[in-house]
Amino acid sequence: MLQFTEEKLGQAEKTELDAHLENLLSKAECTKLWTEKIMKQTEVLLQPNPNARMEEFVYEKLDRKAPSRMNNPELLGQYMIDAGNEFGPGTAYGNALIKCGETQKRIGTADRELIQTSAINFLTPLRNFIEGDYKTIAKERKLLQNKRLDLDAAKTRLKKAKVAEARAASEQEVRITQSEFDRQAEITRLLLEGISSTHAHHLRCLNDFVEAQMTYYAQCYQYMLDLQKQLGSFPSTFLSNNNQSSSTPVQSVSTPSVLASASASLPSVSNSIVTSGISELRSSSGSRKARVLYDYDAANSSELSLLADEVITVYSIPGMDSDWLMGERGNQKGKVPITYLELLN
């Protein structure tokens, strides 16, 4: 303790570590610092809720499994499904909500898989380094510091020794402390040289984390792509129907392929009724009244623009595409998409 104080006051000499060992110590400290930061921020990324992170930490320390709860996408999905069932699966909006809810739940499942895979393959190895390897390095480094202080204290006593007998004892002490210091320096050096292996291991773990993220985002993209195909052009019509403004104009979609996709997204009960009604209409030469479900902007002069909730007359003509009917409103007539219509009795 006296040696340490005198060094701080500049009253005693200090044995410097060799440059290689100093570089290794600096590399280890830098590795520990950035590993902690990356680990903590990854935990925030995977679980943004600090209360949930704290709960998981407590259960982990108690060696108990945290209670299973719905994550945010799963909870949103459940709300959407409940709302869709409340509004009616037979309505376009209710059916769309149910489909969106099911997709959100699938995203929630993918989210759980990402967290689990990342925790095992990425966070755990990083935490093992901080709580295991680096603690051992820090312990041996502390021992090296103590051995250095013992050596320098012995050197100081040797300088101060005046009597031959005292000098001989001090020289013997210096030899012993020097030997212990060199031995501890070698132990510390061997541990520190393992940092390069740690970097290589963490690199493999990082690749595993990137692969887990890639799988997660690919799954989410595929889920949303499938959902978009199921919903077809309904999102743009909802925006138009609710008179909501957007910084980016919503393009009107009217291609038969997209409309066919939209038709596929209708509920099974409603779909069967619409299909049977349209089949009867096509097999006869008569006409039917139909209520318009959503606003529709005609893409060209052969089509008829529609307003939600208006009632028009529809009929079929030979050779017409299966996704369309002819619509009449007074003196106006043109093609209309069947997915925007509800046939009336």
CA separation for the pair 103, 109 (Å, rounded): 10
The stretch 236-261 carries a mean pLDDT of 42
Mean pLDDT over all residues of the chain? 82
Which amino acid, one-letter code, is at 89? Answer: P
Q: What percent of the chain has pLDDT over 70?
A: 77
CA separation for the pair 175, 246 (Å, rounded): 81
Among 191-195, 269-273, 336-340, name the one with the lowest average pLDDT.
269-273
Confidence of residue 255 (pLDDT cuts 50, 70, 90): very low
Among 105-119, 123-137, 230-244, name the one with the lowest average pLDDT.
230-244
Strand order in the sheet with 324-329: 332-337, 324-329, 311-315, 288-292, 341-343
Confidence of residue 345 (pLDDT cuts 50, 70, 90): confident
Residue 147 is predicted with a pLDDT of: 93
CA separation for the pair 343, 315 (Å, rounded): 11
The stretch 217-234 carries a mean pLDDT of 86
Residue 246 is predicted with a pLDDT of: 41
Is the Cβ–Cβ distance between 35 and 202 less than 8 Å?
yes
Residue 275 is predicted with a pLDDT of: 53
Which amino acid, one-letter code, is at 129? Answer: F
Domains of the chain: 19-233 (1.20.1270.60), 276-343 (2.30.30.40)
Residue 240 pLDDT > 80, yes or no? no
Is the Cβ–Cβ distance between 74 and 43 less than 8 Å?
no
CA separation for the pair 163, 169 (Å, rounded): 10
The stretch 302-307 carries a mean pLDDT of 91
The stretch 253-268 carries a mean pLDDT of 40
Residue 272 is predicted with a pLDDT of: 44
Residue 177 is predicted with a pLDDT of: 94
CA angle 201, 110, 198 (to 5 degrees): 5
Pairing outcome for strands 341-343 and 288-292: antiparallel
Among 87-91, 242-246, 279-283, name the one with the lowest average pLDDT.
242-246
- How do residues 194-225 score in pLDDT, each as one tens digit? 999 999 999 999 999 999 999 999 999 999 99
- How do residues 38-67 score in pLDDT, each as one tens digit? 999 999 998 887 776 666 655 565 566 666
The stretch 121-148 carries a mean pLDDT of 95
Residue 242 is predicted with a pLDDT of: 45
pTM of the predicted model, to two decimals? 0.61
- How do residues 160-179 score in pLDDT, each as one tens digit? 888 888 889 989 999 999 99
Confidence of residue 270 (pLDDT cuts 50, 70, 90): very low
Closest CA to 325 of 288, 293, 300: 288
Pinpoint the alpha helices (H) of the chain.
2-8, 19-46, 50-61, 72-87, 92-118, 124-128, 134-160, 164-193, 195-231, 234-241, 256-264, 268-283
CA separation for the pair 260, 263 (Å, rounded): 5
